[in-house]
A and B are shown apart, each in its own frame.
Chain A
């Protein structure tokens, strides 16, 4: 996603990096994979975290026009699409052109107890942060023994 993770040099570190690349290629992430998951390397990168009360989704998408994003949620499926256009200037030489430019769409399946009516989104420093509250009924309740 961001090129390779690069440990600061050293021969052993390079072997570790090779190990990590192999893990990435063959799937070291052991949690259940999103059934709608896209192949690794999709832009933008996404992180999802959960607490008892809410689910937080982070999209690492720098240089977006947040007004032109299309964020929608249906039951527990969250869909984010938009365009990140990079203006290519008239220049003599282009040496590196690694950044993603164009339309993107990412769809995620969130835990089933999220409430689609309680979604909040903010865009700061290039990270789109979406919070979805979990519905009351499914929060754990302590049961006292009389």
Chain B
């Protein structure tokens, strides 16, 4: 049995990477008979830098914020210290993910995910005999 004092080995030449840090956009989510609606605050993100995708039952919203900054700008005060947004949600099967409708205005992302037809509430007519 060999003895080693090292807790872990690191390959030479590898530098420990800082993990990528994301901002978590705040959202409003509500549901009605036709489907689910989601609104997310993504200030600084334009349509080109927005990435929304569905992977099986997971909805992922990612965006990259861009603000115009003059050269040699120094930070004086910062509430926001990252530029990338990311948040994911797991969706239940009655949502029709192929028909997601998404729009973006002034940094607010609005998504609407309809429910599949058979899951919408249906009223049953009673015949009078």
Collect the chain A residues with CB atoms within 8 Å of residue B106's CB: 62-64, 123, 125-126
Q: Knowing A8-B20, A60-B44, A63-B108 touch, does A2 contact B69 (C-beta < 8 A)?
A: no
Q: Does A7 contact B (CB under 8 A)?
A: yes
Q: Which of chain A's residues have a CB closer than 8 A to the CB of B25? A: 2-3
Residues from chain B with Cβ under 8 Å of A40 in the complex: 79
Would you list which residues of chain B between 1 and 51 have a CB under 8 Å from chain A? 19-33, 37, 39, 41-46
| Residues of B in contact with A, size category | 35 or more
Residue A73 interfacial (CB < 8 Å): no
Minimum Cβ distance to chain B for residue A96 (Å)? 4
Which among A51, A58, A100 has the greatest number of chain B C-beta atoms within 10 A?
A: A58
Known: A55-B76, A62-B41, A126-B106. A49 touches B69 (CB 8 A): yes
Known pairs A49-B75, A92-B33; A99 contacts B69 (CB<8 A): no
Q: CB within 8 A of A127: which of B67, B72, B78, B85?
A: B67
Report if A97 contacts B (CB, 8 A): yes
Q: Are A93 and B31 in contact (CB under 8 A)?
A: yes
Cα–Cα distance between A53 and B24 once the two chains are bound (Å): 33
A1 CA / B26 CA spacing, docked (Å):
9
Q: How far is the CB of A26 from chain B (nearest CB, A)?
A: 16
A127, B28: Cβ atoms under 8 Å? no
Interface of B is mostly: loop
Which of A50, A52, A95, A125 has the most B CB atoms < 10 Å from its CB? A125
Contact of B107 among A2, A92, A126 (CB under 8 A): A126
Most A-side CB within 10 Å, residue of B39, B78, B82, B106: B106
The proximity string for B residues 99-121 relative to A, scoring 1 for CB distances below 8 Å and 0 otherwise, is 00000011110000000000000
Query: Does B126 lie at the interface of the complex (its beta carbon under 8 Å from any beta carbon of A)?
Result: no
Given A5-B24, A50-B74, A63-B105; A126-B67 close (CB under 8 Å):
no
Chain A residues near B32: list those with CB within 8 A.
89-93
Q: Does B125 count as interface, using CB distance less than 8 angstroms?
A: no
Residues of chain B contacted by A63 (CB below 8 angstroms): 41, 105-108
Complex: chain B residue closest to A97, CB-CB: B28
Query: Taking the complex as formed, is A76 at the interface, i.e. its CB lies under 8 A from any CB of chain B?
Result: no
Q: List 12 A-B contacts (CB under 8 A).
A: A3-B24, A5-B24, A7-B21, A49-B75, A50-B73, A51-B72, A53-B70, A62-B41, A63-B105, A63-B107, A89-B30, A99-B27
Give me 9 other A-B pairs in contact (C-beta within 8 A), A3-B26, A60-B107, A127-B65 excluded.
A4-B24, A5-B24, A44-B43, A48-B77, A62-B106, A62-B107, A91-B31, A126-B44, A127-B44
